[in-house]
Amino acid sequence: KVSVFDQHRVNSAIRSRSYYKSLLVKLKEETYDRYRSTWKRLLCYVYRLVHLRQEPRLHHVVTDQQSLMRNRLTEAMATLLEAEKGNSIGRVAELRTGIGRRSLDFCISMLDHRLRGNLYDSIVVGFFAVLGIDDESKGFREPVHYASHLSAFVKIAQLLVIQRAVVGVESGGRVSRRSSRRDATLLHDLLERFFHAVGIKASHV
């Protein structure tokens, strides 16, 4: 559903310049699993910190959009659990599809966090700060062991952006009204907001 040209464009951090490698070139299954593991840890971190309010209470600011998307996701999960207890197979399949969409929206909302002032307002930045702690040495991880998590985060974020654009096109909607170009595509809007180094007025995660 996404052209090879767009896969090269998504893989670039510079507007109007495609990267020489496609986004999905030679991505091995074990590499993909490792990338997903970083995002799973992020979601668990958010759930424990925001939903369960577990200690220690680390600084973070949840935006209105993030709060809305999180509430929709948790409500959908609660509904799914009730349906599973009732052994409603058809209903369960439908709800699982809906949870996939809610999860996508919540992940995109975490990316869409404008940073003005304290970088640790972003729960994603806080997560990576915690991820940098080495339990064994009681210090911080060496960069060579830490950079892989950043790569994993960026790669999965790129895939999520593509998926959000595809879902948006299929539903006939637009992702953003901020774009000044009326003919901007959904994918273009998302790339401008999250990845391109030129044309961004405020920092995002």
pLDDT, tens digit (0-9, with 9 covering 90-100), for 23-82:
555 677 888 888 899 999 999 999 999 989 998 889 999 999 999 999 999 999 988 888
Judge whether residue 140 has pLDDT over 90.
no
Q: What are phi and psi of 133, to 5 degrees?
A: -80, 130
**Which amino acid, one-letter code, is at 45?**
Y
CA dist 80 and 96 (Å) reads 7
Q: What pLDDT was estimated at residue 136?
A: 82
CA dist 162 and 165 (Å) reads 5
Q: Give me the numbers of helices (H) and strands (E) for the chain, helices first please.
A: 7, 2
CA dist 14 and 123 (Å) reads 25
Average pLDDT over residues 95-100: 88
Q: Which residue has the higher pLDDT, 187 or 178?
A: 187
Closest CA to 112 of 122, 103, 102, 100: 122
Q: What pLDDT was estimated at residue 87?
A: 72
8 Å CB contact between 160 and 43: no
Token pair listed for 11: 């893989």
**Which amino acid, one-letter code, is at 152?**
A
8 Å CB contact between 205 and 61: no
Average pLDDT over residues 139-163: 84
Q: Report the b/e string of 114-151 with b at 16+ CB within 10 A.
A: eeeeeeebbbbebbbeebeeeeeeeeebeeeeeeebee
| 3-state class (DSSP) for residue 203 | strand
Distance of CA 145 to the CA centre of its chain: 22
Judge whether residue 122 has pLDDT over 90.
yes
Q: Read off the pTM.
A: 0.73
